[in-house]
Every structure is written in structure tokens, then in C-alpha cells.
Chain A
Amino acid sequence: MDSTHPRSGSVASELYDLLCLGLSRLLGSPLLPRVLLLLPLLLLAGRVPQPVVHIGPRQTVQSINPKMGVHTRLTDEVEEWKIKRTLEMVREMGASWIVEYFPWGYYEPEKGRFDWRHPDLVVDHAIAQGLEVVARIDFVPGWARPEDTTFRYLPEESYGDFAGFVAAFVQHFRGRVRYVVVWNEPNLAFEWGYRLPDPESYTRLLQQTYRRAKEANPDVIVLAAGLAPTLAPPGSEWGMDDLEFLRRMYAAGARGSFDGLAIHAYGWTLPPDSPPGRDSLGFSRAELLHEVMVENGDGDLPCLITEAGWNDNRRWANAVRPAQRIDYTLQAYQMVLEDWPWCRTVAMWVFRYPRPARNYQDDFAFVTPGFVTRPIYTAVQAYARGQQP
């Protein structure tokens, strides 16, 4: 024996020989014991490392303004860590509310077959970050509409299918999602499947959906759709004035078929405190929609601004300068907190896109697809922490 050979090596070698001998006698093959000894190593080597994303402990949003919200866009976000990071950043910014889009066509690809895996991820991560989720539901699956129609086209005979999906949604997310928005901007022809906007027909959709949703989950708060702020003239093939649309909904018997109203309140180039006018569009147009509710005896129902904000694209006619955007956004958050008790939240469009749109839409975002914070994020965060600008 080599005198330099370590003693421990000799012991190990003897142990190894003993083990192999014992196993080969037991199994009747001299090769098999070696394979068995190496098996754990082979298993470890063959294992593909997976990214591990944990939901994590429940967090709390720290903010001086509990009405602050943002519209996230996680529908097409595939990677779980990005979903988590987005929602962490929402919390870190100081927003307590998110509005998210849940397309029916994605989650009920065949009638009666539901796939909740992706929305579960979004909702569970949002809850873990301490965020209240408002779910906007629309997008008609192919099986619920005629051929050669768009995913915004919901024929009246499929209203029951839509209501059934919303019922399944609120049942599945009971205790996790309290607010659902029925459809999106039905006063635009595009959002109504390139048909003339029809407030009476939308009211029938709302009524059916409300009944089914409440049967499935009495705690859910059903919101009538946010209407697109528009001054479309009567008879326009593209859209209907939002105030007129809401009035006609009431005339068609919408009262009692929603627990609150979603509002879209883009500021365009006007500051948030610019007085509302029937012939102008701006953030404070929300007051006029609330007035219509008051006129119809629904003044005590809450409003949730599910889309709002300003854009700072250099090339878009409806944009403002970046500094104005920051100023107006902070003013709007404060205005809703102090002056609009009927408004429960204001969710600014849009927190982050999964990928760049490569047009002016990118300049609505607070955070880039690569998670770089834009200055508006920092300013809103400072505001939420009570820091002076």
C-alpha cells in the first residue's frame, strides 16, 4: 500500500468494495450495484431546473390614498415571475386596486369547459400583494358567436352563455374577486361587434348577467360597463354619447341590475379639475355620469373609475408633456380622495404592457415591459408615501 494514500480513502474504498460485493451477491450482477449507487446522481443530473415562484406571504399596501388604483395588463403575460413582479411593483408604488381584463374566450374555450389556471395565478398573486381586484369580463369565444364576426360580437341568443360564464367566474373566485365589470365600452360600435351601439340590448345583457352572478355569489359587486367618453353625434355609426347611452340604459330598466358603475375618465389634454361640459371630454366628465345616476335614484351606488389617465407621447395629438402628465395624475388621485366620495377608486391606464405596442399606447404606461420605472411611477410612489414633490 502506498504510504501517502490517505487512511480515510482506504476506509472508503473498503466500504465501497464491501457494498458492491454485498449488492452483487444480492442482485446476482456485478454491474447493477454500480448503477444503483449512481442512480441518485443520474436523477439529479437529468432534472431540468425550474424557476421557482412562490406566492409569498400576504403584503399590505402602504399609501396615504387608499383610492389609488391602476389598470394592469396581465392577460397575455405568460411568465409567472413577471406577473408577480408587476403586482409587487403596483404595491410598492402605493396603489391598492387593480383592474384586470379576464377574456371569456380564453377561459371557456369550449362550452362548459373552464380553464382557470392563468386567472388563478393573477388573482392569487394580486391578493398576496394586498391588492383589490376588479375583473373586467368580455371577449366572445368562437363557439358563442356566428362565423365571420369579431370577438366583440355577442348575439342576443348567447347572452345566457355569457351570464353563465360570469356566474362560473364569480363562483370560482368567491372570496378573492369582489368586483366584476360586465363588458367594455358597449357605446362604441367596435366594442359591440361593429354593430350600432344598443343600450336597450346591453341592458338585457346586464340584467341576465346580474341575476346569474348574484345567484352564484351574492357577495359579488356587479358593475355596469365603463362607457367610452365620446361626443359622437346622434346616429353616428361609430359610437353613442356616453351620457345618452347611460340615460337610455335607465330608460330600458337597468336600475337594480348593477351595484355600481364603472367609468372611463381619460383626461386627454385637460387638467383633471377642468370643469365638466356636455360638449367636452376630460377627467371630470365622470361627474356628469354620476349626475345621471343621481337623476335616476342611484346616487348612493358607488362608481369605480376603471380607466383614466394622461399620455405623454411626443407624437400623439391627445398627449400632454411628461411633467403635465405627472402633475395631472397626482391631482386626479387627490381629487378623487377629497372631492368625490361617490368614487371608490381611480385606476390609471396602464401600469405595464407585457410587450411594447410600439405606438403612443406605450406612453400611457408607468413601467416598461422590461420593468424599468418611468418617472411617473417614482412621482406617484413619492405621493403615496406622503413625500412632497
Chain B
Amino acid sequence: MKHQRLIWLLAGLVCWALALAAIRQVWFQRATDPTWEQMRASGTMRVCMEAAYPPFGLLDAAGNFSGFDVDLARELASRWGLQVEFVNLHFDGLYDALLADKCDMVLSALPYDETLTEDVLYSPSYFNAGLLLAVRQDERRIRGVNQLGGKKVGVELGSAAELEARRHLEQGRIPLHIVTYPGAIEALTALRDGEVDAAIADSVNVYHFTRDPGGIRYVKRFLSDEQYVIALRPGSGYTWKRLADEIARLTRQGFFKTLQARWF
């Protein structure tokens, strides 16, 4: 009888040990995350970037990296106690470089791509580069596209903004008048100067123009989304979790607003 109890006790302990090991494996995926292990072992976080896309990534003649994404990478590395190393590549080579282990992550104004979610892990978005509706600072009647009927709307010729304006005109049946300009800045300048009643442009240009030279503001709701995310190799679950937590924390702490003020 005593033997039987002992056997049951031992079997129970073994079961609990196995279950706890499995739980540990799931909860602390670090043990099976080569990206995190590699970064910790080398003390370096390698970031693939196209440093030719201002204001997100820039490389000066002396070989110094700067920009919104560069600051973000440095902040992440500093919080994780790592050095940061940038790998400068053309945009079209970023994913291949990541998958070929040339870097630990792609942080380069990278738009979320729903067709690649089985190939890479995407962090939550840290920036929306979608289209915004801009109006003059003193404009009070236009609160969204529904108030654009009969108004002149400036857009960059041939751009996504022109397509968006056409979509509202043709599909939304909002009788707006599209006025095209060679670039987004020209469209925003025309808005400030009173040539048009509103302008549609990407958020980067709108943020930049709102601050300098100013005279315009924008409707907060985006007309379209282009979410910038960070890409990791598959199997980097622990790094992804750390990254997602940091992005949430940085958002709460106003870090991205600071970056926006610095770079746009």
C-alpha cells in the first residue's frame, strides 16, 4: 500500500514537472527565440534600413545615420541594453536581407503588407503615413470629406491623393473640384494661399507643412492608412513581445510625439 502511494506521488510530481516545463517554454519563449539570443550574445541590435528616405532614414557624407527611424532604433537598443548597428540597403532588398540573417529587424518606414504575414513577424504600427485632409487654419466648416461638395481640393498630380479625391468624386458622389499640382508641397502651399479650399496629402508632408511654414491644420481622421511597422524573422516571438511592449510604452510616454516634433 505504501509503495503504491509512493509511486502515485512520484508519477504526480513527474507530471507536474513536465507541465511546468512546458508552461515555462511557452511563457518564456526567449529560450527558442534565436533573434533575441543572438542580440543578447553579441550585445548588438542589427537594423536593416534604407537610409535614403527622409525624414525616416538618412545617411550623411561622414557615414552618420539620422532620422525618425534611427532615433527609434537607438531608443529600443538603449532600453534593451544593446548597441545598434545599421545595415544600409535599398528598399527592395530589406526583406531578403532580414530573411538571410543580415540583420535582426527591418526598421525603415516599412508599410505593413498583409500578404507577407506568413513570412515575417510584424510589430504593431508605430506611425501612420496615410492620407490626411488639410484645411486652412481659420477654416471651420470643413470637418471631413462630406463637407467638400463644391469645394476646390488640391492634390499632387498622379499621386495616391489624386486617386483618393477621385474616389470621393466618382464613388462617393461628392461634387468636389480636383485641382492638381506637381507635388504635395505645392498643393499645400496653394491651400495656404487660398487657391483651393482643402488639400489631400500624405501625413508626413502635412505634419511638416503644418509646422513649417504653417497656416494650415488637418482633420485628425485619416482618409487612408499606411501603417509603418517593424519586421522580424519568423520564430522571433519573444523579441516581438518585447517590441510590442516597448512600442506601447513609448506611445504612452509620448516618445513618438517627440520624434514627430523633431523630424516633421
Interface residues of A (CB under 8 A from B): 312, 315-317, 321-326, 356, 358-360, 372, 374-376, 379
Secondary structure of the B contact surface, majority rule: mixed
Q: How far is the CA of A356 from the CA of B157 in the complex (A)?
A: 22
Most buried by B among A316, A321, A324, A372: A321
Q: How far is the CA of A375 from the CA of B156 in the complex (A)?
A: 10
A261 to chain B, nearest CB (A): 30
Interface residues of B (CB under 8 A from A): 50, 52-53, 90-92, 113, 115-116, 156-159, 162-163, 166, 180-183
8 Å CB contact of B182 from A321, A359, A372: A321
Known: A317-B90, A321-B182, A358-B116. 14 other contacts (CB 8 A): A315-B50, A317-B52, A322-B156, A323-B156, A323-B158, A323-B182, A326-B158, A360-B91, A374-B158, A375-B157, A375-B158, A375-B162, A375-B163, A376-B158
Look across to chain A and name the residue whose beta carbon is closest to the beta carbon of B53.
Answer: A315
8 Å CB contact of A358 from B90, B115, B163, B183: B115
Look across to chain B and name the residue whose beta carbon is closest to the beta carbon of A322.
Answer: B158
Residues of A within 8 A of B91 (CB): 315-316, 360
Residues of B within 8 A of A312 (CB): 158
Look across to chain A and name the residue whose beta carbon is closest to the beta carbon of B91.
Answer: A315
Interchain CB contact under 8 A, A322 and B53? no
B160 to chain A, nearest CB (A): 9
A366 to chain B, nearest CB (A): 11
8 Å CB contact of A323 from B50, B92, B157: B157
Look across to chain A and name the residue whose beta carbon is closest to the beta carbon of B202.
Answer: A314
Q: How far is the CA of A270 from the CA of B183 in the complex (A)?
A: 18
Interchain CB contact under 8 A, B163 and A372? yes
Most buried by B among A322, A359, A360, A372: A322
Name 21 A/B residue pairs within 8 A (Cβ), A-sorted. Answer: A312-B158, A315-B50, A315-B53, A315-B91, A316-B92, A321-B156, A322-B157, A323-B157, A323-B158, A323-B180, A323-B183, A324-B182, A326-B158, A356-B115, A358-B113, A358-B115, A360-B91, A360-B92, A372-B163, A375-B159, A376-B158
Look across to chain A and name the residue whose beta carbon is closest to the beta carbon of B92.
Answer: A359
A51 to chain B, nearest CB (A): 24
Q: How far is the CA of A358 from the CA of B50 in the complex (A)?
A: 17
Residues of A within 8 A of B183 (CB): 321, 323
Q: How far is the CA of A324 from the CA of B181 in the complex (A)?
A: 11
Look across to chain B and name the residue whose beta carbon is closest to the beta carbon of A355.
Answer: B115
Q: How far is the CA of A334 from the CA of B52 in the complex (A)?
A: 34
Most buried by A among B115, B116, B156, B157: B157
Residues of A within 8 A of B90 (CB): 317
Residues of B within 8 A of A321 (CB): 156, 158, 182-183
Interchain CB contact under 8 A, B159 and A322? yes
Q: How far is the CA of A321 from the CA of B183 in the complex (A)?
A: 8
Residues of B within 8 A of A317 (CB): 52, 90
Look across to chain B and name the residue whose beta carbon is closest to the beta carbon of A375.
Answer: B158
Q: How far is the CA of A356 from the CA of B182 in the complex (A)?
A: 26
Residues of A within 8 A of B158 (CB): 312, 321-323, 325-326, 374-376, 379
Residues of A within 8 A of B157 (CB): 322-323, 326, 375
Residues of B within 8 A of A322 (CB): 156-159, 162
Q: How far is the CA of A315 from the CA of B51 in the complex (A)?
A: 11
Look across to chain B and name the residue whose beta carbon is closest to the beta carbon of A360.
Answer: B92
B161 to chain A, nearest CB (A): 10
